[in-house]
Amino acid sequence: MNQLLVVAEPQELQMAQQLFPNIPHLITGVGAINIIRALQNLPKDTHIINVGYAGSANFPISSLVQVTSVALNHPNVNYQEPSLNCTPITPNTNQPLLTAPCYTGVDFCLQSNYHDCVFDMELAFIAALDFKKLSSIKFVSDNLSLHDYHQLSNAVI
């Protein structure tokens, strides 16, 4: 089974390569359309390792989070989205890992009643492509604040 390191933005690549050295990578761009275009023709037995920024209502900025499952984030609907499991993976770091679900939305998440989780804009769309093995490590870039996100994503990590 081939492994592929998948990041949305070039700023995430250095961090991803530190966590998972010597794994080929792909920068997809942010959001569903970019994910689908970049990954739709890959063999389904490719082990996708997604690393990227994510927001959290309560996790400290700079925390590393091992994603346990992923679902779409639809804050204005009254039904439960299906949740897909992620495969645990051990990154190359001494930093402690939190574990939590990830909720994927089409917009930057600025508020939520969900705690002890992270929010991104890609992972559920990767999971929907039905790869046999999907792992994800998220770096908490903000506490649901665009200002925090821009501060961190423009800094050298």
Q: pLDDT digits over 39-58, tens only?
A: 999 999 999 999 999 999 99
Task: For residue 19, give the H/E element and its range.
Answer: helix 10-19
Task: Look at residue 153 in the predicted model and tell me its pLDDT.
Answer: 61
31-45 in b/e burial notation, b at 16+ Cβ within 10 A?
Answer: bbebbeebbeeeeee
26-35, 61-70, 99-108, 148-157: segment of lowest average pLDDT? 148-157
Task: Look at residue 8 in the predicted model and tell me its pLDDT.
Answer: 93
Task: Look at residue 99 in the predicted model and tell me its pLDDT.
Answer: 97
Residue 85's beta-bridge partner residues? 69
pLDDT band at residue 123 under the 50/70/90 scheme: very high
Q: What is the DSSP letter of 32?
A: H
Nearest-CA neighbor of 119 among 100, 132, 133?
100
CB atoms within 10 A of CB 4: 17
**Backbone φ, ψ for residue 90 (5° rounding):** -105, 110
Residue ranges and CATH numbers for the domains of the chain are 3-153 (3.40.50.1580)
CA 150 to chain centre: 17
Classify the C-alpha dihedral 35-10-62-90 as positive or negative: positive
- What are the start-end ranges of the H helices in 20-145? 32-39, 123-128
Q: pLDDT digits over 65-114, tens only?
A: 999 999 888 777 787 788 899 999 999 999 999 999 999 887 665 677 77
Task: Look at residue 157 in the predicted model and tell me its pLDDT.
Answer: 43
Q: Is the pLDDT of residue 156 over 60?
A: no
What are the tokens at 97? 């890992």
**Backbone φ, ψ for residue 121 (5° rounding):** -130, 15
Q: Is the pLDDT of residue 155 over 60?
A: no
